[in-house]
Amino acid sequence: MAIYSIFILSKSGGLIYQYDHTSIKIEVEKTFTFPLDIQLVEQNKRIVVAFGQKDGINVGHNLLAINGIQLNGTLLDDGREVSPFLADQSNFPLSLKFGRPKLSTNEKIFLASMFYPLFAIASQLSPEIKSSGIEVLEADTFKLHCFQTLTGIKFLIVAEPKQLNVEHLLRRVYELYADFALKNPFYSLEMPIRCEQFESNLQLLLEQEKSGINNV
């Protein structure tokens, strides 16, 4: 079981804090003949699998290396474009390595901003008056847990589906936020959280949760 990451969103939906705790490295290398039986496209200066997932290579995975040589975005190490290189039959067979991409800071900000309207829509669609919105969003490989404070600050934890005590952990993160961020006289609610005491205590909390110690 694992806690993957923590997001804190301001009342207006802006990302004010993000912390990656457990990163699972997913890489698959396979030899391909011409023509490729998977479809690759250029997306956000990366080569991405768009269609034809197989053998652990999934849609959304990035092309990381060709014949053991790491890619620099959409370029080979000698500056050649990857797409024309893969379209040339004389270059095959090729050993291609794929993996799940690591989100950039801009992508994390974008994902956080997308959660805000989803939360609002869920609140409006609920048959219950004054619905609390999304509390748990479940996928096949993770669960996203959300806790919203009375002031509208949202705490999100992305965890393995079988992870226990996430609701308790969310409230402990909120307590740390209240103790170390809110009590900082130079901090305002819409500002990014830059507090060493908050981050160090958060890391300690997550390590204790991992080892089965529930009290900080």
Task: Please tell me whether residues 77 and 127 are part of one structural domain.
Answer: no
What percentage of the chain exceeds 70 in pLDDT? 96
Packing angle of the helix pair 196-210, 166-176 (nearest 10 deg): 160
Task: Please tell me whether residues 32 and 139 are part of one structural domain.
Answer: no
Task: Please tell me whether residues 64 and 135 are part of one structural domain.
Answer: no
Q: Is residue 172 part of a domain?
A: yes
Residue 207 buriedness (CB in 10 A; 0-12 / 13-18 / 19+): exposed
Beta strand 62-66 pairing with 15-20 = unpaired
**216, pLDDT greater than 50:** no
**130, pLDDT greater than 80:** no
Which CATH number covers residue 32? 2.30.42.40
Range of the domain at 15: 3-23+104-210
Residue tagged 């956080």 (tokens): 112
Residue tagged 């048959």 (tokens): 127
Of 58, 78, 99, which residue sits at a domain end?
A: 99
Express each pLDDT in 26-83 by its tens digit.
789 999 999 999 999 998 888 999 998 888 898 889 999 999 988 988 998 888 899 9
Calpha distance 74→6 (Å, rounded): 30
pLDDT at 174: 96
Of 46, 73, 99, which residue sits at a domain end?
A: 99
Which CATH number covers residue 206? 3.30.450.70
Calpha distance 149→171 (Å, rounded): 10
Calpha distance 166→3 (Å, rounded): 9
Q: List Cβ neighbours of 174 (8 Å cut-off, separation of 6 or more).
A: 147, 149, 153, 155
pLDDT at 1: 64
Judge if the upstream peptide bond of residue 93 is cis by omega within 30 degrees of 0: yes
Number of structural domains in the chain = 2
Task: Please tell me whether residues 205 and 129 are part of one structural domain.
Answer: yes
pLDDT at 213: 59
The mean pLDDT value of the chain amounts to 89
Task: Please tell me whether residues 50 and 33 are part of one structural domain.
Answer: yes
What percentage of the chain exceeds 90 in pLDDT? 55
Q: Is residue 215 part of a domain?
A: no
* Eight-state DSSP code of residue 72: B
- Region 105-125: mean pLDDT is 89
Quote the tokens at residue 11.
């009342």
pTM over 0.95? The answer is no
Task: Please tell me whether residues 18 and 118 are part of one structural domain.
Answer: yes
Express each pLDDT in 156-203 by its tens digit.
999 999 998 899 999 999 999 999 998 888 887 788 998 899 999 999
